[in-house]
Each structure stands twice: as C-alpha cells, then as structure tokens.
Structure 1
Amino acid sequence: MEAIDPSTGARIETYEEHTESDVTEALDRATEAFDDWRARSIRDREQLLAAAGEVLRENKREYAETITREMGKPVTQSLSEVEKCARVCDHYAEHASAYLDSDPHPSPPGSTVRTEYEPLGAVLAVMPWNFPFWQVFRFAAPYLAAGNVGLLKHASNVPGCALAIEDVFREAGCPEGVFQSLLIPSDLVDDVIADDRVRAATLTGSGPAGRSVAATAGDHLKKTVLELGGSDPFVVLDDADVETAAETGAWARNLNGGQSCIAAKRFVVHTDVYDDFLDAFVDEIDSLAVGDPMDEETEVGPQAREDLMVELHEQVAESVDAGATIVTGGEPLDREGIFYPPTVLTDVPEGCPADSEETFGPVATVYEVADEDEAVDKANDTNFGLGASVWTEDRDRGERVAGRIDAGCVYVNQLVKSDPRVPFGGVKDSGYGRELSEVGITEFVNRKTVWVE
C-alpha cells in the first residue's frame, strides 16, 4: 500500500500488505485477547479508554499531520478530529458503566429478572479515509468498552493512520490483540467476515461496499451496522437568519474538502429569501482559503485522490450539460495537487447527477422552493436519509419541519454533526443501526435475559 500526499502527488511511504497468514494470526490473537478482555471489569476497560484519550492529546500534532499528509484535509481540521477522538474516549470512560448496567424487569414474587449486556467477540470495522481517525474511534471506543475486541480494515490510502491508531491503544496499555489493524485489500474482507472468529461487522462507506458486507454477514448470520453516506438537505425557510445560514452553510458544505457523509449538499431555499441567501452564500464560499493543507490559514485542501476528483467533476459536467448553472467554481484548479474549488450550482434539473447522486466533494446545489411544503418535499426527494438542517427564527416551526424530514438526525439552526452523547446513523440508503451514545454501545452485545427463581 502506498500513501500519497494529495497536495503534491508525492509518495509518502510504502507499506507491506498483510498476507492471509498474517490475517489468520491476527484473528487468533483477537480470539485469545477476547477471553481476557471480556473478563476484565468494565472499570478497567474505562480506565484504558481514558488512557487512550490522553495518548491522543499528547501526540495530537503528530497524528494530525499524518491525517493531513495522507488524505489532505487542512491540518487545523485534523487537529480538531484528533481532539474529538479523545472526547469520545472520555465519554465512554465516564459513561460505559451506566450504559451497560443490567436492566431489571417485573417478575413473580421470589424471583428476579434482568437483562445483562455481554460482548460478542471480535468486531470487524471497514472504515473510510475521509475522517481516518474519528470514524475508527467512533466504533472502537464504545465497542471496546463493552468488552469486544476490534479489527480494523482501513481505507488503502491511509495506512499510516491505521497503524497509528493501533499504536494509540497499545500505548494506552490495552493487551495485545484487543485492537488490530489489518492492511489488506478489499477482496479479503469477505473472508474475514465469514471467519467464525469474527462475530460482527460495521462499515462506513459507499452503498455497494455496504451491500457487499451486509450480504456476506447475512450469509453467516452476523450482525452489521452500516453508515452509507448521504445527500443532506439544508433547508432555509422564509423567516431564517439569512446571513447566519449562509455563513454556516458554506462551512457545512466545504468542511473536510466537502468529503463528508453529513455535509450539507442540497440547499433548499424559500423563494422569499432565495436571492439574498444565494448572494451571501456565494460570497462566503468565494472567501474560503484553498491551498496547502499544512498552512494554518488554509480552509479547503486538496481532494483525497485523483480518481475521486475526476468522478466529482464528471458529476458537475453532466449536470451542467443537463441544464444546471455554475455560479462559482466548477473546474479543477490548475496547480500542483488534487484541488477542486468550492462550487455552487443552481437551476439543477431533476434527475441529473448533482440532484440525484451524492457529490462527495465541495459542490453545493441550491434550489428555490415556493413554500414550506415544497421545501419538505425537496428535502425528502432523495434515496438517502442521513441528516438534515433546518433554518428558521421560529423554534416551534423548526421542530415541526424537522419531524417531517426523513433522516436519522435533523438539526435546527445548526449544521449536522456527530456527537458522542447522541445516536448517529441513517435511514433508507444511508444505512441502518446506530453509533455513539447508549444506543451505539449496545449494538454489538448479547442482551441476555437472566431469570433467577
């Protein structure tokens, strides 16, 4: 596996892929580690998670620079990502015991009945490159706290991140085999899922990848959690604070180079404020600093890979051919590295790529709608259902509209984000299951009924 700096095209380092024999040994280590790990007190596991948070904080600059070199996000955003990983470790270090405490149930006189939450075993995580630390810790912190052990198949363009995360848990004091990174190609994933030593799998990624993992896991009766992307609507109603919505919207679309499943992608704007919003939105987007991701002033770095930028530009070009209008951006930048400018499209025809597909890069589509009902219809006019954002000065109205949008989460007067304190996941083609909070930690456990007479 080669790690390539997308800002320059230079090779950073070459890593040896793990062989099938290496994978077999890793699975043996995971099985052996699980027997000890599950028997530890949950307080011991919480303390090791807290230690992992400290390791992250102590080395955050080093980890942030690894993220930036391998996938290109601005280093300030990489630092924020590492800090967020430390926070999720803190969260489960503090709350795992309460989340996993047994639940009593009504029972006949003289008996007690309760539900115990017991770990399943080794959980395989197939994770993407866009948030190469956060996506992993979002899975690892709760599942390790619950007593499972983790196997990471990371994206092939971030192998340095994969090994660095393994080192975090090792330095925190976790026993060998509790968390391991597998540097393997995608065509070995099915074999790992099928192996009896693996008890469950989770994936964040594309729809085809999710369907493949789910199909293999289903064949072997293993549970999965899938987060498969989104095309999140950003609804601006006629009573919204337009300037604030435009400023937040520009950031919500272009954070992480626009390469985020929960990025605002479709801006659905009431006709009464459409012109004002569009003008303010474009001004905000044009003001974003695009450049060297190691520069602290940079706000938008390169795209992660050349093939991804080519695909994104094809979506834009096909949409323009279908009748969409480019307001700003729309062409790869003529400079070293894989840079695509923040782009805004209007007059977007129904069914064109920018309308019907997920655009995984800094491309925003802006729609004009006549009223609240049309705004809701347009927000729901997608196969995805991950997140949504609604902007209005009337909080009651915002809650009412939020209730009509088909999504795993809706934020009123705020951009969509994941937070350790609340469940995260989607509906429709955005996947199933939930990560984070109490719900997330109990996804991969045996809810065992214990009846004592």
Structure 2
Amino acid sequence: MSYQTINPLTDEVLKTYPNHDAAYVEQALVKGDVLYKQWRNDPVASRGPVLNKVADLMAAQSDALAKILTVEMGKRFVEAQGEVALCISIARYYAEHAADFLKPEHIKSSIGTAQVISRPTGILMMVEPWNFPYYQIMRVFAPNFMVGNPMLLKHASNCPMAAEAFEKIVIAAGVPEGAFANLYITYDQVNQIIADKRVQGVALTGSERAGQLVAAEAGKNMKQSSLELGGSDPFIVLDDANLSEIKKIISGARLFNAGQVCTSSKRFIVTEKNYEQMLAMLKEAFAAVKLGDPMLSTTTLAPLSSSKAKQNLAQQVRAAVENGATLAFGSLAQNKPAALFEPVILTNITKENPAFYQEFFGPVGQIYRVPDEAAAIRLANDSHYGLSGVVFGGSPEHATEVASQLETGSVFVNSFGGTLPELPFGGVKNSGYGRELGRFGIETFVNKETIVTKHNPINLDDAFGGFV
C-alpha cells in the first residue's frame, strides 16, 4: 500500500511516504501498553489540560492545517477551516465533560454498597477514511484520550500529510509517549495489530467491505469494535413542508464536501404535491455551483478526492442510466480535468436498478416521487443503510413523529444538521454499529466495572443474594 499526497485538482504527486515496518509498529505497541498501565490508575481529569493544549495548537495553526486538507483531498478551503474548528470544539468538549461522564455511578443493592466505575480497556486501533481527515481522528482520539486508552492510527493512503500533521500537533501539546501513533501500514499489518493481546478494540470508519473484514478480525480475536460504514440518507419533504426553508440548505445538504459525506442527503423523497417544485429547486441549486480550485473563495464545488474516485462515480452514474434511471441534470461525459466532477441529478430509479440500494459518494442527487407520507417512510426505510436523515414538514411535532419511524441513527427535523460534539453519531443496518461523540461516544471502549462492598458480617441465608 502506497501512501501518497496527490493534489486532486492537478493529479500531481506531491509527496510519497515510506511504510512503517514491523519493528516500528512493535515499538508503538510497547509504548502504548506501558502508558495504559500507568493511565488506568490516573484520574480522568488529569488529562484534560493536555487535550485543551491540543485544541489551542490546532487553533493557532488553523489555516496551515486547513490548507493541507485542501491540497491533499480537495476540500474547499473554507470547509477545511470548518473541519479544523469542529475538531477544536470536540477536543474542548471532552476536556470539559469527560470526568463527569465517567464518574462512578452508585447503585442501590441489598447485598451491599455497589458502584460502577469506568476504566480504560487498553490500546485501540483506529482505521479512518479520507473525507474528513482530522475530524475522523478527533472524534475517536478526544474521548479515548480522556478515558485513558492509547491509540494507533491507520489513516487512508491518500491523506498521509494530514495524519502526520495531527500526530505532530499531539506531540507538541505534550501528549505522553505512547498515547497516539500514526502508522503507515497495510491492512495485513492492521489485522496483526488487532490480533495482538495488548490491543483491546478497533474503531473503523470506511466502506462496508472494510467494515466486514475488520469486524471479522475483531470478532475472531474477541476484541470490541465500532463501525461507521456510510449511508444513503433520505431527505423527506412532506406535503406541508416550507419549501423556502429547504431552498436555503438544499445545495449544502447534497454538495457539501463535494458530496463526499456519509450523512449527505443522497435520496430526496418528495410527496406528489411538491415533487415538481423540488426537482426544479434541486436543478437550480446544482446549476448555480462554481466548480474549480478549492483554494479560491469563488469556488462552491471542489473536486472529488481523486481521479480514481471520479472514474468510479462516473461509472456508477452510467450504470444507473443504463438500468433505466433518467439523467435529469448534468452529463455522463464528465470531461473536466483531474478529479473535477460536474453535479448530476437522477430520477425514475426503480428497485430493479442497482443504483436503488447503492451509496453515491459525490455530487449526485437522487429524487423520488411518492404519493403520500406513508410511502415516503416506506421508501426511506427500504435501504441497506441507516445512518442519518432529514424530514421537513410544516408541523415540527408531526415531522418529528415521522422522523421517529425512520430506521436510522439520527434524524434532523426542519434542518440539515451535520455534526456537533454533544450529539451521538452512528448508524444501524449496513451503516455499522456503535456510537461516537457525546456522552454515548465516550463509553464505547470503557470497562464498566461493578464493585460491591459489604459492610456487615456475612449472613449465609443471603450470602448469594438470597437465591440459594
């Protein structure tokens, strides 16, 4: 596996990184294991100042860090700045709240004084993708740093510079040796790490195929795992929806980060009353984008992450049309240079079309016409995925009732939500399992240890809880 920084705008190879060998990996494991044994006896709050220092350094180097994302995976510079800001907020959130989240919980028990304490589990393996290079790391790193779990990172092969930059930040912040190591390694090496007895869990964000392989390896070795594997998120428009509100966000809902977002609204599901107007709005929004250099403030649609990603997406669109979908907007040709991809809208996608159950990871909008609300819910749930979703309706209360019927990890009513440090993130079905962020996210790799203390002499009549 070759780790290279390739500018998606020009296809220029900017830097190639050598892979780390077995000796380097072993050194990282040794240091992580030593630190874990120290950390498991240290108070959670003791790590907060260091995590705040990580946030301080990211803030001080915000533009330089953002530029790396723009050059390496094509993200618009303003969006890259936003990603850095989000990482800073996640770090500060856990530095402030982790000790409270992990404080002992007391339980009333007839057998004695009972409490559940939160302990670290050990070294974690992180396998992360390229679409949000810093954010994908931070949402695992920040909570688990506070828990006391050392981490090893295998990042995507096309964003080695971002992985390197993150590691430099945490080292400069004074994170203890062994707390975090960036590894340029193969998937075979990942499997070897998962199998290592010093490693207790693995967190992966990526494709279904990668998730299946990692989950299988984790299961075989009795290791905990969490998976976030993408989505084909519905955007439901009910009869009484305020279309002027939708118009404000319809472009960003699908085209933010060039559409390379797991929680992008990929399937617009619209009741008969509003279908034609929604289709016209989507066409207008797609026609207004300015495709080009992601460093320029005038650009509103950046290139895809790589020319390979462009080729794959173009083939996916062609296959959808060949199987009966209507190309309602855009071109099959995609003649722009390098990884630049012009937006496309597909309609009339039937269940017999392979596109119906696929995730389109790029600026491709699908719009479906349904007769009523019940049909919208059925269509939204007729998916292999269940990561996120959006419901727009005139009555927030009724739209919330509709949202509660969706088979998904989260739903945003009358807004396009995105992500915030306090909101749990994760999915169901082929979108994976486990949660990251918020209070639930910090508990994913925590040993909830129950301690029962008896203060009175043993009475044999209830020595085993009174059941014998």
* Structure-2 separation of matches of 1:246 and 1:334: 29
* Structure-2 separation of matches of 1:423 and 1:415: 16
Counting only pairs closer than 5 Å after superposition, residues 317-328 of structure 1 correspond to structure 2 as: 317-328=318-329
8 Å CA contact retained: 1:306, 1:338: yes
Larger radius of gyration: 2
Partner of 1:153: 154
* Structure-1 separation of matches of 2:105 and 2:26: 37
- What's the offset of the Cα at 1:332? 5.4
Q: Is residue 103 from structure 1 mapped to residue 118 from structure 2 by the alignment?
A: no
- What's the offset of the Cα at 1:39? 3.1
Q: Which moved more, 1:246-255 or 1:190-199?
A: 246-255
1:52 aligned residue (54, 70, 76) = 54
Q: Read off the aligned partner of 1:327 and give its amino acid letter.
A: A
Counting only pairs closer than 5 Å after superposition, residues 79-228 of structure 1 correspond to structure 2 as: 79-108=81-110, 111-228=112-229
Structure 1: give runs of 5+ residues left out of the alignment. Answer: none
- What's the offset of the Cα at 1:297? 2.2
Provide TM-score, normalisation by structure 2.
Answer: 0.94
Partner of 1:312: 313
- Name the SS of the counterpart of 1:359 in structure 2: coil
* Structure-2 separation of matches of 1:7 and 1:173: 36
Partner of 2:367: 366
- What's the offset of the Cα at 1:335? 3.4
Provide TM-score, normalisation by structure 1.
Answer: 0.97
Partner of 2:300: 299
- What's the offset of the Cα at 1:40? 2.8
Distance 1:239 1:221, change over 3 A: same
Q: Which moved more, 1:200-209 or 1:299-308?
A: 299-308
Partner of 1:390: 391
8 Å CA contact retained: 1:234, 1:249: no
Partner of 1:282: 283
- What's the offset of the Cα at 1:53? 0.8
- What's the offset of the Cα at 1:5? 0.4
- What's the offset of the Cα at 1:353? 3.4
- Name the SS of the counterpart of 2:327 in structure 1: strand
Q: Which moved more, 1:329-338 or 1:256-265?
A: 329-338
Q: Read off the aligned partner of 2:95 and give its amino acid letter.
A: A
Q: Is residue 380 from structure 1 mapped to residue 349 from structure 2 by the alignment?
A: no
Partner of 2:463: none
Q: Read off the aligned partner of 1:102 and give its amino acid letter.
A: P
8 Å CA contact retained: 1:262, 1:416: no
* Structure-1 separation of matches of 2:11 and 2:311: 15
8 Å CA contact retained: 1:3, 1:157: yes
The root-mean-square deviation of aligned C-alpha atoms, in Å, is: 1.2
- What's the offset of the Cα at 1:282? 1.1
Q: Read off the aligned partner of 1:35 and give its amino acid letter.
A: K
8 Å CA contact retained: 2:271, 2:373: yes
Q: Read off the aligned partner of 1:196 and give its amino acid letter.
A: K
Q: Which moved more, 1:308-317 or 1:79-88?
A: 308-317
8 Å CA contact retained: 1:387, 1:416: no
Structure 2: give runs of 5+ residues left out of the alignment. Answer: 455-468
* Structure-1 separation of matches of 2:453 and 2:410: 40
* Structure-1 separation of matches of 2:57 and 2:354: 43
- What's the offset of the Cα at 1:249? 2.3
Q: Is residue 67 from structure 1 mapped to residue 69 from structure 2 by the alignment?
A: yes
* Structure-1 separation of matches of 2:414 and 2:272: 19
* Structure-2 separation of matches of 1:213 and 1:180: 19
* Structure-1 separation of matches of 2:360 and 2:270: 19
Q: Read off the aligned partner of 2:254 and give its amino acid letter.
A: R
- What's the offset of the Cα at 1:107? 2.2
- Name the SS of the counterpart of 1:337 in structure 2: coil
* Structure-2 separation of matches of 1:330 and 1:153: 36
* Structure-2 separation of matches of 1:400 and 1:317: 37
Partner of 2:435: 434
- What's the offset of the Cα at 1:38? 3.0
8 Å CA contact retained: 1:139, 1:435: yes
- Name the SS of the counterpart of 2:386 in structure 1: coil
- Name the SS of the counterpart of 1:421 in structure 2: coil
- What's the offset of the Cα at 1:333? 4.1
* Structure-1 separation of matches of 2:417 and 2:219: 31
8 Å CA contact retained: 1:331, 1:340: no
Counting only pairs closer than 5 Å after superposition, residues 344-363 of structure 1 correspond to structure 2 as: 344-363=345-364
Q: Which moved more, 1:323-332 or 1:77-86?
A: 323-332
Q: Which moved more, 1:29-38 or 1:59-68?
A: 29-38
Q: Read off the aligned partner of 1:281 and give its amino acid letter.
A: L
8 Å CA contact retained: 1:243, 1:277: no
* Structure-1 separation of matches of 2:354 and 2:297: 34
